[in-house]
Structure 1
Amino acid sequence: MSINARSHIRIARPSRDLAAAERFWREGLGLSVVWRTQGDHAPGEHDLLMLGWPEADWHLELVHEAARPVEPRPTEEDLLVVYLDGPVPEDLVAALERHGGKRVLSPNPYWNEWGVTIEDPDGYRLVLCTRAWSNS
């Protein structure tokens, strides 16, 4: 099989607290748990949480290893952008904030004009964009 537009993408990030991250991404944004495992199978294994929408061609993988934690080091430009093609529902922003997110301004005025930026519990940024996007 070759790489193409339907090739699945995994976005992997370290997490300080998988339970807090799960609340934000699952209960706040509405992603589903695709897979999870506890790192107690063998020495050196980590806890793993994969979240996504069932039919999406991508998922978010969050990892934590208690014995050797990797501190997340997000910047203001580490963004996961979801194009809504319409207004950002205030109840969605409120749900993200209730579940550990923090609404922030972007240093890039484009995202402030065309969306809402929410920082997740690890400091990574989710942008809910009012615009549509297509690569074609």
Structure 2
Amino acid sequence: MPANATAHVRIARPSRDLRAAERFWVLGLGLDILYQHAADHNAGRRHSLLMVGWPGATWHLELAHDPAAPVEPQPTPEDLLVVYLGEPVPDVLLERLEQHGGERVPAHNPYWDTWGVTVRDPDGYLLVLSTRSWAGS
């Protein structure tokens, strides 16, 4: 597959608690579990994985946890996952995210407060729900 717009993208990062991450991303945002497995040293799997996304999308989010040597997430204020909704952010979605471990926070860049809502996930990473659309060009 060539490196172009059809290539699938995986965004991978560490998680302290995959159960908390699953509640936020699946029950809160509404992503599907695309794949998951628990660490099993006997089977050669050092990491527990949770991969979430929307079926058919050209991206997915992989959250990994190594119980034997956990990596502490170190998000910065500019580590954003932006979802372009193209409409106002539904209050019910924000409430669901907060009920499932999210915390609404002011954006480091005020642009995102103008054009969306920023929510911190249980690992400290930032999800921006943008009211804008993305045309890809």
Q: Aligning the two structures, in what range does the TM-score lie when normalised by the shorter sequence?
A: over 0.9
For 1:19 and 1:129, locate their aligned partners in 2 and report how far apart those are by CA, in whole Å: 26
> Which residue matches 1:100?
101
For 1:99 and 1:126, locate their aligned partners in 2 and report how far apart those are by CA, in whole Å: 14
For 2:38 and 2:45, locate their aligned partners in 1 and report how far apart those are by CA, in whole Å: 11
For 1:107 and 1:119, locate their aligned partners in 2 and report how far apart those are by CA, in whole Å: 12
> Which residue matches 1:67?
68
The answer to whether residue 119 in structure 2 is matched with residue 118 in structure 1 is yes
The answer to whether residue 15 in structure 2 is matched with residue 6 in structure 1 is no
> Which residue matches 1:83?
84
For 2:108 and 2:47, locate their aligned partners in 1 and report how far apart those are by CA, in whole Å: 34
| Structure 1 residue 134: Cα displacement | 1.6
Aligned residue type for 1:24: F
Between stretches 55-64 and 36-45, larger displacement belongs to: 36-45
For 1:33 and 1:75, locate their aligned partners in 2 and report how far apart those are by CA, in whole Å: 26
Say what the alpha-carbon RMSD is for the aligned residues: 1.1
For 2:54 and 2:45, locate their aligned partners in 1 and report how far apart those are by CA, in whole Å: 29
Aligned residue type for 1:123: G
For 2:45 and 2:30, locate their aligned partners in 1 and report how far apart those are by CA, in whole Å: 31
For 1:92 and 1:20, locate their aligned partners in 2 and report how far apart those are by CA, in whole Å: 17
> Which residue matches 1:35?
35
For 2:102 and 2:28, locate their aligned partners in 1 and report how far apart those are by CA, in whole Å: 8
| Structure 1 residue 41: Cα displacement | 4.2
Q: Give runs of ≥4 in structure 1 deviating > 6 Å.
A: none
For 2:119 and 2:56, locate their aligned partners in 1 and report how far apart those are by CA, in whole Å: 24
Identity of aligned residues (%): 62
**In the TM superposition, what whole-angstrom CA distance separates every residue of 1:40-95 from its partner, at most 9, and x where no partner exists?**
14466110000000010000000001110000000111000000111000000000
Aligned residue type for 1:11: I
Gaps of 5+ in 2: none
User: How do residues 38-49 of structure 1 correspond to structure 2 at under 5 angstroms?
Assistant: 38-42=38-42, 45-49=46-50
Q: How many residue pairs get matched?
A: 136
| Structure 1 residue 6: Cα displacement | 1.0
The answer to whether residue 25 in structure 2 is matched with residue 25 in structure 1 is yes
